[in-house]
Chains A and B, each alone.
Chain A
Amino acid sequence: MVHFTTEEKAAVASLWAKVNVEVVGGESLARLLIVYPWTQRFFDSFGNLCSESAIMGNPKVKAHGSKVLNSFGNAIKHMDDLKGTFADLSELHCDKLHVDPENFRLLGNMILIVLATHFSKEFTPQMQAAWQKLTNAVANALAHKYH
């Protein structure tokens, strides 16, 4: 089980309080689809994903990115039991959505890069380390029920 120190929890919480979930979530998912175009395979129903501007402006991408990042908000409230918190979502991603867990790691890294563009100097190596630990742990929690 992953253990977060008091400092790590505080760092995550302090940045989270300033995050615009809709903007960061939308941008993170958009970057995933742009930087790793094969991830578009899960989003046939999303309409126009032909170019960077199409993807960044796509309302379904924004909405879904926002939904995904909101669940991160839930993770932050339960950092001591991520596996339990994400058990149902894990089953869903395996049994219904059929998503390779590698995609959770890729998306986690996109979130970090978007946070870096938004928070710049404030996104120090230590801040990144805390968030990196969180995104890795969430990715593992989401993969935990795969069979």
Chain B
Amino acid sequence: MSLTRAERTIVVSMWSKISTQADVIGTETLERLFSCYPQAKTYFPHFDLHSGSAQLRAHGSKVVAAVGDAVKSIDNVASALSKLSELHAYVLRVDPVNFKFLSHCLLVTLASHFPADFTADAHAAWDKFLSLVSGVLTEKYR
């Protein structure tokens, strides 16, 4: 599965809007993840996950920055996220199902912040893109 030219254009152009609110988007995505899928909290026993926590904000920023790296190298996401892929495979070992939950929460956050931009076509492009990113992050698992 790879993105069409049209899909890449959509993702890249929406990213320019998203990046201006990257931290807010990142934090909110994680808040949604932990509210809707509390089992995801098992990967963060060392974090204060309350709303407004500095750790939540910092981690949200990290996650969105990584998405940004993927967008900037949208023609070769595997190469851009290679180190992160190894980290997830050998150190973090987050169960792959959680990438779907996180992707869904990011989509809901985007839909909520950019309703006019988040058309069905944009939604489809981003769903596919995040699925691709998730695939890269889990490709070294076994």
Contact = CB atoms under 8 A, between A and B. Distances in A.
A104 to B, nearest CB: 15
B19 interface: no
A41 interface: no
Interface string B25-55: 0001001100110000000000000000000
Contact of B115 (A55, A112, A118): A118
Contact of A109 (B104, B109, B119, B124): B104
Contacts of A34: 120-121, 123-124
A133 B113 CA distance: 22
A120 B120 contact: no
A79 interface: no
Interface string B102-142: 00110111011101001111011001000000000000000
15 contacts: A30-B120, A31-B123, A55-B120, A113-B118, A114-B111, A116-B108, A116-B109, A116-B112, A120-B112, A121-B112, A123-B112, A125-B31, A126-B35, A128-B35, A133-B36
Interface of A: 27, 30-31, 34-35, 52, 55-56, 109, 112-114, 116-121, 123, 125-126, 128-129, 132-133
Interface of B: 28, 31-32, 35-36, 104-105, 107-109, 111-113, 115, 118-121, 123-124, 127
Q: Which 3 A-B pairs have the closest CB atoms?
A: A116-B111, A117-B115, A129-B35
